Amino acid sequence: MRQVTKPQPRAKLDELADSLVARELAAAQIDPAARVHGISDISELVYAGQVAGQGDTIPGIPYDGALERLIRIYREAKPLDVRLSALGGLLDVAGHAQAIAFLREVAISADPTAWYAVGQLEAAADPADARPVGTVADRRAVYDLLKALFQQRLVSEPLAADGLDLYAHNQGWTRP
């Protein structure tokens, strides 16, 4: 799906991506010990949509539908490991602003993956993180978003709230 040699029709790319999603969701219904494809389908989507990081050169044009498919896997899969893997790929693919908005949505939910979404937001705010998570201004916006989530007590899932509290403590934040 990564267009390395020549541009491909969007319909063809979408069809391939949708087949990876369907295969991942079907595999996610199987007993974890019996899963064959598992996280490899998610990895394929991440690679297809991956943008270059600091010093990276990735050949080809990223597939801009990867983010949407990762979110679909996250929403529709039942196994926690599959859902966490889908969340983990969001910051690596094209669509930074949408990825941040979705991670915020998960972070403020009662979902058991909220802690991981908080961690992903923390990574997106970290200037030392080598992933392609936006510009310096984007990182600052995510930092400010985390601060607002903390100060407004919007993160309620216990593990996520504890993680955000620790991050806030390390940043020297206080609540008004």
Per-residue CA distances from 113 to 44, 78, 135, 154 (Å): 22, 12, 26, 15
Dump the DSSP string for 84-103. HHHHHHGGGBS-HHHHHHHH
Dump the DSSP string for 112-170. TTHHHHHHHHHHHH-TT--S----HHHHHHHHHHHHHHHHTT---SHHHHHHHHHHHHH
Task: Please check the confidence at residue 36 and state whether its pLDDT lies above 60.
Answer: no
Average confidence (pLDDT) over 97-103: 96
Task: Please check the confidence at residue 35 and state whether its pLDDT lies above 60.
Answer: no
Which of 26-40, 42-56, 120-134 is least confident? 26-40
Q: Specify the higher pLDDT residue, 4 or 167.
A: 167
